[in-house]
């Protein structure tokens, strides 16, 4: 039994005194204690060493006391496990030296055995659960198949992922074959994460908003729906799509317990589009954490009033930025904990 189960209760839609709070990318570069470890170990060493991954996961919890922890890892461990080389270059970001551009490239892509390739993630989960001591729930995550395809085809980050979209539109069969392999791997991976102890899972469709609403229905949504279908009986599922307000209706009907909202969609519009059916999560503009702490607190209180305290998880509208002062992140969390009607 988890002592602070506010987050899990909000995912079930239960009535609460205040909404739970966590921040996307809360384990990361705005924290001085994270930067210390970052000096000593490269990115994938941090991901692959359960002692380090679990330590980084609990760092923000110790400092701020969020209502949920998210396992430190990365969405790109999936292509890595599928035998696609992934590097994390300092001051550059992800780099995949052999991007997928043709049907032939696809032949080498495997749907791996999760225990053999990603066992270290399961060990990190078990170690994190011990450190959390059942105080708060632990979230596991994966990228959406479309978002993973973006990196596999583009080979690096991009503002528009033109090559990835071009691949889908010129070689749709190959694109669908790749999306299905990623989906199969992701389902097995998330099932293993739940078995190892995570209490909820979130799917990040970070680049869903690059697709037109129509193309989203072809290249992103059906694969997310497969993942929700496979997971929803095992753990609550949160679907977050950046720039995907147009898909909030489908997301609300999908069987997911919660739907993420970014800051370009108002609370009122998100409730309207999801017909009040589902718990919503979001949507503070990450750059708004640069405002003075007093302003942040007022805006957070206002945001809770707009979403309503029930069926709601307070979060940012995307990941926290590296340049956020630690006291501003604290103001965000504290404002939620101090909330009362
Ligand atoms: O939320 C958390 O605190 C858990 C940790 C987490 C990381 N990546 C650690 C990380 C999570 C949930 C992710 C997911 C992720 N990774 C996404 C989806 C979420 C989102 O923000 O849209 C995406 C698109 C990636 C891919 C990725 N990983 C990029 C583009 C980069 C480089 C850019 C950047 O933000 O630095 C990474 C590296 C990465 N993943 C870092 C961290 C803390 C920073 C690099 C470092 O610490 O050396």
Catalytic residues: 25, 29, 38, 74, 151
| Predicted local distance difference test score (pLDDT) of residue 263 | 98
Mutation test of ligand 1: which of 22, 24, 28, 36 has the most ligand atoms closer than 8 Å to its C-beta?
Answer: 28
Distance from C-alpha of 277 to C-alpha of 13, rounded to nearest angstrom: 9
| Predicted local distance difference test score (pLDDT) of residue 248 | 98
Mutation test of ligand 1: which of 319, 320, 321 has the most ligand atoms closer than 8 Å to its C-beta?
Answer: 319
User: What residue's CA is closest to ligand 1, atom 40?
Assistant: 74
In the predicted model, residues of the chain with pLDDT beneath 70 are none
Q: Is the dihedral of CA 150, 155, 156, 159 positive or negative?
A: negative
What is the pTM assigned to this prediction?
Answer: 0.97
Whole-number Cα distances in Å, 67 to 7, 19, 21, 26, 274:
6, 9, 6, 12, 24
User: What residue's CA is closest to ligand 1, atom 32?
Assistant: 93
Q: Which residues line ligand 1 (CB under 6 A)?
A: 24-29, 38, 43, 70, 72, 74-76, 88, 93-94, 141, 143, 157, 204, 206, 318-319
CB 171 within 8 A of CB 102: yes
| Predicted local distance difference test score (pLDDT) of residue 249 | 97
| Predicted local distance difference test score (pLDDT) of residue 214 | 98
């Amino acid at each position: 039994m988890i002592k602070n189960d506010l987050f899990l209760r909000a995912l079930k839609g239960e009535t609460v005194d205040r909404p739970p709070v966590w921040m996307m990318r809360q384990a990361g570069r705005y924290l001085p204690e994270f930067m210390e470890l970052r000096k000593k170990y490269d990115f994938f060493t941090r991901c692959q060493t359960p002692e380090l991954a679990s330590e980084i996961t609990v760092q923000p919890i110790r400092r701020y006391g969020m209502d949920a922890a998210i396992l430190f890892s990365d969405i790109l461990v999936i292509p890595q496990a599928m035998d696609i080389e992934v590097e994390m270059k300092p001051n550059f970001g992800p780099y995949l030296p052999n991007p997928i551009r043709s049907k032939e490239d696809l032949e080498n892509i495997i749907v791996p055995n999760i225990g053999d390739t990603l066992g270290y993630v399961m060990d990190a989960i078990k170690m994190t659960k011990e450190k959390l001591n059942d105080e708060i729930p632990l979230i596991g995550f994966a990228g959406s198949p479309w978002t993973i395809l973006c990196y596999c085809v583009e080979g690096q980050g991009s503002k528009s992922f033109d090559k990835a979209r071009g691949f889908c539109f010129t070689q749709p069969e190959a694109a669908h074959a790749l999306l299905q392999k990623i989906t199969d791997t992701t389902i097995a991976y998330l099932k293993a994460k739940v078995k190892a102890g995570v209490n909820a899972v979130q799917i990040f469709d970070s680049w869903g908003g690059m697709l037109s609403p129509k193309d989203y229905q072809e290249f992103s949504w059906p694969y997310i729906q497969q993942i929700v279908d496979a997971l929803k009986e095992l753990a609550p599922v949160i679907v977050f799509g950046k720039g995907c307000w147009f898909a909030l209706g489908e997301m609300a009907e999908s069987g997911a317990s919660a739907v993420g909202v970014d800051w370009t969609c108002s609370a009122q519009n998100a409730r309207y589009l999801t017909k009040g059916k589902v718990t919503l999560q979001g949507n503070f503009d990450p750059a708004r954490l640069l405002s003075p702490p007093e302003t942040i607190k007022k805006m957070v209180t206002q945001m809770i009033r707009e979403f309503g305290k029930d069926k709601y998880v307070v979060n940012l509208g995307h990941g926290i930025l590296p340049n956020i002062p630690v006291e501003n992140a604290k103001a965000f969390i504290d404002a939620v904990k101090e909330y009362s009607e």
